[in-house]
Amino acid sequence: MSLQNQRFFTPTDSTPSDSLLGTLQHHPELQHQFQSSPGILQTIALPTQDSSSSLDRGQQSPPAAKPLLSQTVEQCLSSDSPVSRDADCGFIPLRQIAKVGSRHRDDADYRFVGQLGAGGTGVVFQAHQRAVDREVAVKMLRSEHAVKPHLREQFLAEARVIGGLDHPNVIALHEVYSDKNGSLFYSMKRIDGTSWDKQIDDLSLSQNIEILLRVADAIRYAHSRGLIHRDIKPENVMLGKFGEVLVADWGLAVKYQTNQTVAATNSIGGTPAYMAPELASASAGAISFQTDVYLLGAILYRVLTGKPPHNGPSLLQCIQAAANNVIEPTDTECELMTVAMRAMATSSAERFASVDQFIDAIKDERQHEQSQRLIRRAIGQAEHAINSTDSADAYRDFGIADALLCEAIALWPSSLKAREVRKRLQLQFAAIATERGDYDLAAAIYEAVGEAKSDEAQMVEFHRLQREASQRNASRYLVLFTQSPDPGVLIDLKTLRVVEANIAFAKMFGYECDKIVDMALNDLGLWVNPEQQQILFDQAIRRGSVDDFAAQLNHADGHSLEVLINSRVIEIAREPMLLSTIRNSVITQMACPPFRRQPNKTSCNGPLVFGDDGFRES
């Protein structure tokens, strides 16, 4: 759904006043500033009305020209009177700080080396901790905010949250402290790397999914401790050079009570581009563990599409898009997108019930995706088999395709698609086997896929029975043919190769039967005049038979023989053959003086076909 022509959520009198949009409704100047700001990827953190009574006073102080969003927000929420830090001085230890640019001090507990980053309320420095001689990251509450109770409280709450989480994917907190001026700090493990958003577009899908799963593990652990993060996004995930994945910035984390309500919080907000609807338009009581599930789904959407789910020409319109759950349109279609869209359902009841379910769904779909890839490979292999003219290659390709589909089913046993594709390809294989006369294989395939009673299988069975009958008749004939006293030869009319020659033929022309079988007729060099061979074949094919065809044939030793040839076209196993018997014309005339040669006398009878009762006229 695009943002154009979209009816956005507009705060009304019934909008919860402690919601983000409700707060903007009650502060028109702040709403105007949000309308003019494009910073949809920045974290918004506003105090609730219960935590600060200075919102109205803040509206009276106009912001500076073109301020940063974080500065704008703070100017609108600024307090006119300083706030004592006595409330936290009793349990926050003092430390000596040597800041960047200050003179060297031997008694400094922390010596700041340089700035690593900055946010709306805090600045992160690289520092050296003298006591243990290590490099650390130190987050400092901005000095102008250190006098604001709600921001001090929020800063300390963030430190307590991080300090209470002991997980390999949560950044480790070392110490919370203040300096002599009351500025607040906490030191953390320093990561040699960058935030995820700086690398996300350069990483593969598999790498990004692995990072997301580790982030989800950290959030799952936080949920087990009753904490909701509320601001999960690639910018808040640190990637170290040695494979570390650490979730940072827990400043908006809230406690989830045992009675399934969120504890009173002194801030509202999140990041509009990734924000769940309840973070934008509902009160704190609507926030639940499913809010973090939504944010994880939004990151998955970002991984798959290259953009966050919500957008708008201004910050305010992006918040309105989040409130209405208007998700940017995409052409991306895959199994993982289904997971992302379910996690980002408008109603929390329609999302995954827990982060565990979200993680399991990703792992399942990754297996399914691998199964889908195998299915696509199998289809491609089968298409190659269908287009192959070589039976051996086609059978091999179908075998590979079937093996790929078996592996796809093993990865995803409940996949109906894999089973349907396998059956379809097996039926195609059976059809090709039928076309190539491999009836036994075709019948076995039809039996294996449960189609033994289909019309195609019945036709295969008919061809099998017909072939068996033909083979039986051919076998009986070949016994008679090979033992016949008349020289005979059987030629395949398609290939012009010798299929069979009997003993009498071998003796007459000086050959061994086994050596001439499957030999090309032209290679045999039998005909003295090859043109006579072509005339005989043409007449036999055209008329079905030729009788007493006079010709000269060569003996193996080179001398020629005058012969008379009787030929008939027959079918064996549906293949056209030329059966010829040969007589020595000289011997025939001597044995039968009354015999009168009628050279090249032909018969108009049709070709012979093997039937159940032997040869018959077609």
- Residues of the binding site for ATP: 139
CA–CA gap between residue 174 and residue 128 (Å, rounded): 13
CB 611 within 8 A of CB 588: no
Q: Residue 189 is inside which H or E element, if any?
A: strand 184-189
CA-based torsion, 455, 461, 464, 469: positive or negative: negative
Binding-site residue numbers are 139
**C-alpha of 519 from chain center:** 54
CB 157 within 8 A of CB 164: no
Q: In this structure, how many other beta carbons lie within 10 angstroms of the beta carbon of residue 614?
A: 12
Among the listed residues 54, 64, 130, the one whose alpha carbon sits nearest the alpha carbon of residue 97 = 130
Pairing of strands 267-270, 44-47: antiparallel
Among the listed residues 460, 321, 386, the one whose alpha carbon sits nearest the alpha carbon of residue 20 = 321
Q: How many CA atoms lie within 13 A of 227 on its CB side?
A: 22
CA distances from 318 to 23, 75, 150, 321, 461 (A): 16, 22, 26, 5, 68
Identity at 226, one-letter amino acid code = G
Strand locations in 482-559 (E): 488-492, 497-501, 545-554
Token digits of residue 410: 């093993």
CA–CA gap between residue 340 and residue 325 (Å, rounded): 13
Please identify which residue in the block is written with the tokens 């060569």. 554
DSSP-assigned beta bridge partners for residue 608: 570, 617
SS3 497: strand
CA–CA gap between residue 439 and residue 462 (Å, rounded): 9
CA–CA gap between residue 171 and residue 158 (Å, rounded): 12
CA–CA gap between residue 56 and residue 20 (Å, rounded): 16
Q: In this structure, how many other beta carbons lie within 10 angstroms of the beta carbon of residue 554?
A: 16
Pairing of strands 134-141, 173-178: unpaired
SS3 79: coil
Backbone angles phi, psi at 162, to 5 degrees: -65, -45
CB 447 within 8 A of CB 426: no
**C-alpha of 423 from chain center:** 22
Please identify which residue in the block is written with the tokens 């982030």. 215
